[in-house]
Amino acid sequence: MTATSPPLQVAIVGVGKIARDQHVPAIAGEPAFELAATVSRSGGLDGVENHADLMSLLDARSDIAAVSLCMPPVPRFEAATRALAAGRHVMLEKPPGASVAEVGTLERLARAKGVSLFATWHSRYAAGVAPARAWLSDRSIRSVRIAWKEDVRHWHPGQAWIWEPGGLGVFDPGINALSILTGILPGPVHLTKAVLSFPENRDTPIAADLSFTSASGMVVEAEFDWRQEGPQSWTIDVETADSALSLREGGARLFLDGEEQKVEGPGEYPGLYRRFAELIEAGQSDVDTSPFVHVADAFMLGERRIVAPFHE
């Protein structure tokens, strides 16, 4: 796509809060795309063509080159499979699916069909993340401490699916921290211990304490909690051999040895759509499952603790 190319027609599938708050304005600000249609049983968006299901859209609009899947993770595999099979480029909201294996299946299908698949991690596009990655690239890291605490009632009101199997619970926001972690560290880490707190009336955890290590012995400790009241916390603190780095407000602010740095960027979701356009232009896919693997490992290794029931 060049500056004079017409924008690609894109459709949003699943018009919920994240689509309205983030995807719609991001598409509006990205010259490479034009929002041509939606798929929503609840009516879609004013002034935008809407279809009741994905197959109706695919049958009716062969001109739509790309679809952005914003529904919950459990039904996403079927929708992505149909869109890829129809030769459409696909963007996946995070997490990219309900299981790690199904994401691999989608990647292979995209390759076979010659289309782009983008498994997105929006927090990696926060303004401080790329500078943090560059700063840490040649440093010896001793430890990392993550505190990701928010009020689920405020940020996810009435979203019952997050408490059901496949909904991830506190890992829905926690995976954002893991996407930043895996995006800024110069090498991999693996989970060694997890304690998961499940409300007695829910099927997914409301809190999690995680421990990781690396081949060099670096230690990472992460605390995720959905019961936070008052100030919310989305912080990653990194100690190196000679200095310290801190990402705050979900990666939007960067501090080096306590001094805030000036960081700039297009914004998380505008960054995603810019990257999606680049992938389509290059005929490539971007499917990094490393944050998702850490979540899967937490459920595999995690000690399960039952805590007080959760009610909206």
How many other C-beta atoms lie within 10 A of the C-beta of residue 277? Answer: 22
User: Do residues 27 and 102 make contact, with C-beta atoms less than 8 angstroms apart?
Assistant: no
In the chain the first and final C-alpha atoms are separated, in Å, by 46
Q: By three-state DSSP, how is residue 102 classified?
A: helix
Q: Cα 264–265–269 angle (5° rounding)? A: 150
**Six-digit token pair at 179?**
């996407």
Task: Residue 213: name the closest of 237, 185, 234 by CA.
Answer: 185
Residues 6+ apart with CB under 8 A from 249: 234
Looking up tokens 């009716």, which residue turns up? 60
Please provide the DSSP assignment of 124-149 as one string.
Answer: GGSTTHHHHHHHHTTS-EEEEEEEEE
Q: Which of 17, 94, 149, 262 is catalytic?
A: 94
How many other C-beta atoms lie within 10 A of the C-beta of residue 133? Answer: 15
Handedness of CA 84, 95, 187, 135 (dihedral sign): positive
Q: Is 94 a catalytic residue?
A: yes
Q: Would you please indicate which residues are annotated as catalytic (active-site) residues? A: 94
